[in-house]
Structure 1
Amino acid sequence: MHATGGDPTPLTRSQAAAFERDGYLTVRQLAPPELVDSMRRVTRQHLTERRAPLELEAELGYPGAPSSTEAVGGDAIRRLRGAYGRHPVFRRWVHYPPLTACLRALLGDGPVLMPRAHHNCIMTKLPRFSSDSLWHQDLRYWRYARGELVTAWLALGREHAGNGGLQLIPGTHRQNLAAWRFDEARFLRLDLTENDALVAQRVSVELEAGDVLFFHSRLLHAATRNAGPDPKLAAVFTFRRHDDEPLPGSRSEAGGDVTILPG
């Protein structure tokens, strides 16, 4: 489902209903060009400076990643972590009224919080040394009472299948998928015929700079490596209702939250 931003209340009830049905919603040009340009400029500076905290492709070890940090391309950065605290421009985006209006429409009444532990990063997909993200739900490592979180994926440049743009399986956020359909790392098993019908329903998302993809934390999604010549960059933050609380003792709880919208 697609919508167009540009005003403080960009989502209609029907668009919110489409998100509930499909598990995702694309809002075109939600972020203004000058804000996107500023985020992109800061991101490139931090990549050049290798400003910590970082996550390397080789550390995660997904298919296509360098085999170790000592291998060719082993220093390729996958994520700039802790984006909210990196620079005021990212905080400006997270509190940007058209974005928070979308979050209100998707998450409902009551306080809305941004977990610091999950996403809160700049996703980078560099040419030559990026990797494939297999089919998964973000909740595989997150621990919340209900697990009804919403991620806002802001493209800082063009995203498409050729440079590792996201693929989604609509409606899977509402399917109760049995544990045996996933491997030990909780990626969807592609050796099972039972999963073939799911994967056949996949859609590829194409984004331009300033577009935002909202998607549910239970939605199955994947992405290939970047086969293009230029880095792919996206600012990614996740949000939750105040009453969808992290489980005690979990990393989700330990990271803390930022209040985005009051009750």
Structure 2
Amino acid sequence: MKLDENQLKEFNENGFLILRNFADSALCDEILEKAKIHLENKTAPIETEQEYMHLNKDKITVRRLRQVYDREEVFQKWMTNEKIRPILKQVLNDTPVLTLAHHNSIMTKLPHESTRTFWHQDRRYWNFENNDLVSVWLALGDEYLDNGLLEFIPASHKLNLEKDQFDEVSNFKDEHPKNLEIIKNKVHANLQKGDVVLFHCKTLHHASKNNSDKAKISFVYTVRAASNKPLNNTRSDFKEVILD
């Protein structure tokens, strides 16, 4: 499968693209079933809400399961999916390489216990030669504003932003005068099981807390262009899988 000319243009202009009903429903159900077991058991490595928000660590609320590639065969099956490879090659204009150091994750927003995800660019996590990185987000169920749907700022991957527009942990400041004008342009589109969102590592995005009564669980991984090498002796210099 390949993107048509309009889809590729949309991704390049906006920095993100939704692929509706892309993943097989049965595959999503199998991923979700396995993910729930790891979440219930709080199987390490994980990231918690308490770590993310610098809160009291006596309570553990899982925010994401890390390093999921090696946890279950079905997780690997999705991350190495043959159907999406030609699309990833198009958006990167190069052979895609699955980087397992980052966004090799099951993401969750638990009901009433989750916290907001602040505006940010994913590039803050990584150490590569350039910004040719794209994340692949899979909705495993319905995603909407009240349960923590991702919102994006179109074309923000093209902006030249200044250091003072970000805080000490690289969150995009909500109340910065320049940022307020940029955030006004935010957009969203509800997702359903099997929908995939591709987004560039510089595209600004955020998500609210989950105010619903049901957990929102998603799957995200990241690919780099083969020509975009990880910097030696950084956390990005890690196990990878070439998706040729």
Tell me the TM-score normalized by structure 2: 0.96
Counterpart for residue 192 of structure 1 = 176
- Structure 1 Cα separation of the partners of residues 232 and 134 of structure 2: 21
**Counterpart selection for 2:71 from 80, 83, 86:** 86
Alignment of 1:103-182 (within 5 A): 103-109=88-94, 111-182=95-166
Separation in structure 2 between the aligned mates of residue 213 and residue 25 of structure 1, nearest angstrom: 6
Deviations 1:198-245 (A, max 9, x none): 000001231101000000000001111100000000110000111111
What is the CA distance between 1:189 and its match in structure 2? Answer: 1.7
Tell me the SS of whatever aligns to 1:55: strand
CA deviations over 1:93-147 (Å, ceiling 9, x no partner)? 11222221221221123x3211111100100110121111111101113111111
Asked if the contact 1:169/1:199 (under 8 Å) is kept, the reply is: yes
2:102/2:125 contact within 8 Å kept: no
Residue 10 of structure 1 and its aligned partner are, at CA, apart by: 4.1
Q: Does 1:69 align with 2:57?
A: yes
1:214 aligns with 2:198: yes
Long gaps (5+) in structure 1: 1-8
How many Å separate the matches in 2 of 1:16 and 1:151? 15
Q: Displacement, 1:26?
A: 0.1
RMSD over aligned Cα atoms: 1.2
Residue in structure 1 matched with residue 240 of structure 2 by the alignment = 257
TM-score, structure 1 as length reference: 0.89
Alpha-carbon deviation of 1:50? 2.1
How far 1:256 moved relative to its partner?
A: 2.4
Give SS of 1:11's match: coil
Figure out how many residues of one structure are paired with residues of the other and give that number: 244
Amino acid at match of 1:80: L
**CA shift for structure 1 position 56:** 1.2
Give the structure 1 partner of residue 8 of structure 2.
16
Question: How far 1:188 moved relative to its partner?
Answer: 1.4
Instruction: Kindly provide the amino acid, as one letter, of the partner of residue 239 in structure 1.
Output: V
2:170 counterpart SS class: coil
Q: Contact 1:169–1:219 (CA<8 Å) still a contact in 2?
A: yes
Q: Which has the higher contact order (CA 8 A, sep 6+)?
A: 2
Whether 2:56 is the aligned partner of 1:32: answer no
